[in-house]
Structure 1
């Protein structure tokens, strides 16, 4: 495996000033996926989740759309809470990224 490939991409993101944006987008996508998986396990429909969140089904669709840039962590946290879960975000020292 070529270890340089990942570091070249990281360098590109840093050079373009996109590291934080890419990290945030990846984080949102992972959380949205985890919420969808929890819904499957718990057999909770989008309609039922919307009712638990006191919102519309459209809002749930947007929260689960991993490509929606307007999806907020607050909305994802609300969806997670409605499924008996919580969102946890933690800081990791830069040198530990590869091991996270």
Structure 2
């Protein structure tokens, strides 16, 4: 099972400077959503790649199972490529015989 957990903490914005969190800084600069998207994609790419290694599934085999190209698998496993859709992630997980579980906490 591949699992993604998202935890959004309640934060109170403190005055800028000492004592503010890094998340508060990123939010104030308008970069929090992008940073979170990259972090989530890195986790997904890592989990997919680790599962592929454990199951001895090559990129070529994965492409065949998903009925796509090997370059699409490279994009899927690229931790910086945040343009991958949920449908593509679900297809990859299903191709490995797993289920995708997403929880909002």
TM-score class, shorter: 0.7 to 0.9
Instruction: Tell me which protein shows more strand as a share of its residues.
Output: 2
Q: 1:64 aligns with which of 57, 77, 81?
A: 77
Partner of 2:43: 30
Of stretches 30-39 and 82-91 in structure 1, the one that deviates more from structure 2 is 82-91
> Which consecutive residues of structure 2, in runs of 5 or more, have no partner in the other structure?
1-17
Give the count of matched residue pairs: 87
Moved over 3 A (4+): none
Higher relative contact order (CA 8 A, sep 6+): 2
TM-score by length of structure 1 reads 0.76
Partner of 2:98: 85
Mapping for residues 45-60 of structure 1, pairs under 5 Å: 45-60=58-73
Q: 1:9 aligns with which of 9, 12, 22?
A: 22
1:20 aligns with 2:62: no
Distance 2:26 2:67 in 1: 38
> Which consecutive residues of structure 1, in runs of 5 or more, have no partner in the other structure?
93-100
Contact 2:37 2:82 in 1 (8 A): no
Cα shift at 1:25:
1.8
Secondary structure class of the residue paired with 2:101: coil
TM-score by length of structure 2 reads 0.73
Contact 2:41 2:80 in 1 (8 A): no
Contact 1:32 1:76 in 2 (8 A): no
Residues 18, 30 of structure 1: alpha-carbon distance in 2 compared, 3 angstrom cutoff: same
